[in-house]
Amino acid sequence: MVHRRELDGEALVLGNQGALYLNAMTWWDHATGSIWSQPTGEAIAGPLTGSRLALVPSTLTTWAEWTTQHPDTVALDAPGRRLAVGLEMMAIVVDLGTEVVSYDVTVLRDAGVVDDVVAGIEIAVVVDPDDPNRWAVYSRRVGDAVVDLERAADGLVDRRTGTVFDPLRGIARSGLMAGRVLDRLPAFTMFPKDFERLFPDGRSWPEG
């Protein structure tokens, strides 16, 4: 996960608290010593209790895919090697504050896209059927309109206007909204079992 480590314009330096909460890691901040929870981004003890760090959109994918999408990327100066964990075993999690939803990557891979409403915001979760490491979460609001996306041979098609969007870049390639771009929303991946533990009140897609 990636968080903005900033509160009221002041940068925070965080360290590893060495404790688990919600079965996930906790941090301490160097300025106040408050203890923070990773999955909620919220301080659970100390002077900053109740403060929350914003989530930054990030992508869990392969190095090959990341460099294709971002040729100018830099790489952390550290060893990189193949891991046994594939994304198809994980869930894509969308946390919009008042509601958190987990999407099954295997089911999504067959569907290509799911239109949903999370915390009152119309969203679309997209997975490339050919490679589940390629995925994105978008707001379906484009100006005053809301698009309803479905998978087609040439991309994602808005059922109302026929606009065709690039599935992974969110850019409208043709149709009424050509040139418009879908806004990306913060999302992350985790194992489905972890999701059930960390977000007992969360919703899972598909249901049941």
Shortest separation between residue 80's beta carbon and other proteins, angstroms: 3
- Pick the closer one to other proteins by CB: 32 or 161: 32
Shortest separation between residue 188's beta carbon and other proteins, angstroms: 9
- Pick the closer one to other proteins by CB: 51 or 161: 51
Shortest separation between residue 88's beta carbon and other proteins, angstroms: 12
**Residues 139, 122 contacting (CB under 8 angstroms):** yes
- Pick the closer one to other proteins by CB: 158 or 167: 167
Q: Which of 120, 176, 118 has its CA nearest to residue 147?
A: 176
- Where along the sequence are the contacts to other proteins (CB under 8 A)? 1-6, 11-23, 25-28, 30, 32-35, 38, 44-47, 53, 56-64, 66-67, 69-83, 85, 87
- Pick the closer one to other proteins by CB: 35 or 92: 35
- Pick the closer one to other proteins by CB: 59 or 163: 59
Single-letter code of the amino acid located at 96: L
Q: Which of 10, 8, 9, 49 has its CA nearest to residue 28?
A: 49
Shortest separation between residue 40's beta carbon and other proteins, angstroms: 11
Q: Tokens 């606009």 label which residue?
A: 163
d(CA 113, CA 123): 10
Shortest separation between residue 153's beta carbon and other proteins, angstroms: 27
d(CA 116, CA 27): 32
Q: Which of 122, 4, 20, 89 has its CA nearest to residue 113?
A: 122
How do beta strands 10-11 and 155-158 pair?
Answer: unpaired
